[in-house]
Structure 1
Amino acid sequence: MKQITIFAMIAALAAPLAVQAEGYYVGGNIGRAEQKADVGSASFKESTTAYKLVGGYNYNKNVGAEIGYADLREVSVSGNGAKVSSKPSAFYVAATGTLPLNEQFSVFGKLGVARAHEKLSATYTKVSESATENRTTPYISVGAAFLLNQQVSFVAEYENFGKIAKDGSANIKADMFSVGVRYSF
């Protein structure tokens, strides 16, 4: 009887890890996106609240794939009668690697490519200019997950979208730190 009880306890503890190991998931994150712009000798860094939606598949407990959309929201800088606004978003596809630490906690990393879409606008007195740019960039992410139950997990992650806009020596880089929820099925 004792062996059956021990086996049942081990199976109950391993079940969440097995569910986490394989299958589809969807989720969403909310967090802080930061844009860093370097324009010649001038530079600025601004942050705003951003969000992302994801979907993925875990082939096993260590390897998977994910696609996602991140809206990094608009930031603007004003001064001396001028205003510059930047509004990026990105679609990405990435390979994922997960290292389970125990039945509930794991760390993960992602490596892939992002297709960034950047809307830029500038106003000086009564003159306005705007432009858009689409750019493919490397995508890198690291994070941690906490498995609440067989379907729901909470994540915290840092993502780097690279240079989302570039024109000569001017460029804009974007990254995001966020927390979110994943639902596995």
Structure 2
Amino acid sequence: MNKTKLIGAILLTLGMTGTALAQNGFYAGASIGQATIDACDGVTSCDDDDTSWKIFGGWELNRNIAIEAAWVDLGEISGTIGGSAVSAETDGWTLAGKGMLPLNQQFDVFGKLGMIMWDVEGGGAASGIDDDGTDLIYGIGAQYMFTDQFGIVGEWEWYDIDNDVDLFSIGVLTRF
């Protein structure tokens, strides 16, 4: 996997001038939530839920289409295998297309489809294990704008990272 290419693509996507950002509906935000990683096969005392967070930004190209990039920390899974404690932490970069359906001036529902460039690092008896890859993500959500610049967003996202990962999150966003 070539992280440099994905980071370059994200920076290129986010690297337009301030005037172009304003004209195309640039937004940014942060979310916090609960991630569940379906990876407990063969693991006893498995804790597959953890707090997750992400920082995101994107462009609303028009009222119905956006492109969004994010850094997401999906938390840690831990448990015991053969009497030894093991854990794994997962994070990654995402890039997704976002289709929005405005229900009124303030409230939109949306769906997204894209990719995640992920990294998993082991801990405990799994120390030294480092895996990465690029896989599919999709999600649905809603956003409510209190003003033209400030709103909240809630969403469910699914990540296909070797095992299924579900993320339910709520956050804030600001438009520039």
Scaled by the length of structure 1, what TM-score is found? 0.76
Structure 1 stretches lacking a partner, 5+ long:
1-20, 166-171
Q: Shift in Å at residue 75 of structure 1? A: 2.4
Q: How much identity, in percent, do the aligned residues show?
A: 32
Alignment partner of 2:120 out of 115, 118, 123: 118
Q: Shift in Å at residue 134 of structure 1? A: 0.9
Residue 9 of structure 2 aligns with which residue? Answer: none
For residues 150 and 42 of structure 1, the distance between their equivalents in structure 2, rounded to whole angstroms, comes to: 48
Residue 94 of structure 1 aligns with which residue? Answer: 96
Contact kept, 8 Å, 2:43 with 2:80, in 1: the verdict is no
Residue 54 of structure 2 aligns with which residue? Answer: 52
> Structure 1 counterpart of 2:36, which letter?
E
For residues 94 and 28 of structure 1, the distance between their equivalents in structure 2, rounded to whole angstroms, comes to: 16
For residues 100 and 27 of structure 2, the distance between their equivalents in structure 1, rounded to whole angstroms, comes to: 14
For residues 120 and 81 of structure 2, the distance between their equivalents in structure 1, rounded to whole angstroms, comes to: 22
Structure 1 position 140 matched with structure 2 position 135: no
Give the number of the structure whose residues are more often strand, by fraction.
1
Contact kept, 8 Å, 1:35 with 1:45, in 2: the verdict is no
Residue 153 of structure 1 aligns with which residue? Answer: 151
- 4+ long deviations beyond 3 Å: 41-45
Contact kept, 8 Å, 2:109 with 2:142, in 1: the verdict is yes
> Structure 2 counterpart of 1:88, which letter?
T
Alignment partner of 2:166 out of 151, 154, 175: 175
Cα deviations by residue, 1:84-134 (Å, 9 ceiling, x for unpaired): 2010001010011000011211101110111010112352xxxx6431111
SS at match of 2:78: strand
Q: Shift in Å at residue 81 of structure 1? A: 2.5
Scaled by the length of structure 2, what TM-score is found? 0.80
Contact kept, 8 Å, 2:47 with 2:78, in 1: the verdict is no
Larger Rg: 1
The count of corresponding residues between Structure 1 and Structure 2 is 153
Residue 18 of structure 1 aligns with which residue? Answer: none
Cα RMSD, aligned residues only: 2.1
SS at match of 2:75: coil
SS at match of 2:134: strand
